[in-house]
Every structure is written in structure tokens, then in C-alpha cells.
Amino acid sequence: MTERTLSIIKPDATRRNICGKIISMLEDAGLRVIAQKRIHLTENQAKNFYSVHSESPFYQELCEFMISGPVVVQVLEGENAINRNRDVMGATNPEQAAPGTIRKELAVSLTENSVHGSDSPENAAVEIAFFFSDTDIVG
């Protein structure tokens, strides 16, 4: 089934100028970038985007990290795009991520783990709408 998912290239990756490398890995995994923009999140945007984690001990650190530099937000499309993206991203903790995944090969740490990906169809729809309107998504 063709799906769409929200991907974010996080500040540790934009800082190290490895967006192209990450996008290549996504493309090689069968995903297509159908909308994309480089933005600097506000504190409110970061807090709202990650509000599901607001009770987590790492929430503050995560939000500070996410506003520490620009991010690239993008909509990915493909067969089973949500799980496909999660697979190529690798485990949240790069030390536990499988070889060949983005986080294993490129992430800095558990917090600075280079990429975000939606984890369900429901969240993908909400997260895509958080950053993009229908007319932004050009295919």
C-alpha cells in the first residue's frame, strides 16, 4: 500500500552537512521525497510537535536539541512508507541500531540521532499536517 510519512533531518545532521547522505539512504530504501523544506523550529513548534513526550525525562533536552539548528522536514512516499522509513532509520538508540541504518551509520547519540519518522498512519497524517498543507505536496 502506498503511504506517506513525515521525516525530519535533525540539527545534528544539518550541522554536519550530511542531509544529502541521509536523503540518498531514504531513496535507496525505496522512499521518494514529495515535499521538503529547511526551517528553524521555534521553541513552541518543538514542544508541540513532541508533546506526546511532555512527561518524559528527556523532553526538555529533546526540545532544546531540536531548536539548536535548522532541520529539514519532508514528506516521504512509498510502499509501506511508515515502516520502511522506520526500518532504514534504525533503532532510537544508535548503539542498538542495525548496521546499514541511518542511525547506526550517522547518528551522534541517543538524543542527537539524526532523523525523525512517524510511527503510525494516524501520527503520520497529524505530523504531515503540522508542517505542510495539501498544496505544498507536489509529488
Which x/- pattern over 67-106 shows residues binding ligand ADP (rule: CB under 6 A)? -------------------------x--------------
* Contact status: 120 vs ligand ADP (CB under 6 A): no
* Contact status: 113 vs ligand ADP (CB under 6 A): yes
Q: Which is nearer to ligand ADP, 39 or 136 (CB)?
A: 39
The three-state (H, E, C) secondary structure of the chain, written as one string: CEEEEEEEECHHHHHCCCHHHHHHHHHHCCCEEEEEEEECCCHHHHHHHCHHHCCCCCHHHHHHHHCCCCEEEEEEEEECHHHHHHHHHCCCCHHHCCCCCHHHHHCCCCCCCCEEECCCHHHHHHHHHHHCCHHHCCC
Q: Which of 58, 95, 96, 126 binds ligand ADP (CB under 6 A)?
A: 58
Q: Which of 68, 83, 111, 123 binds ligand ADP (CB under 6 A)?
A: 111
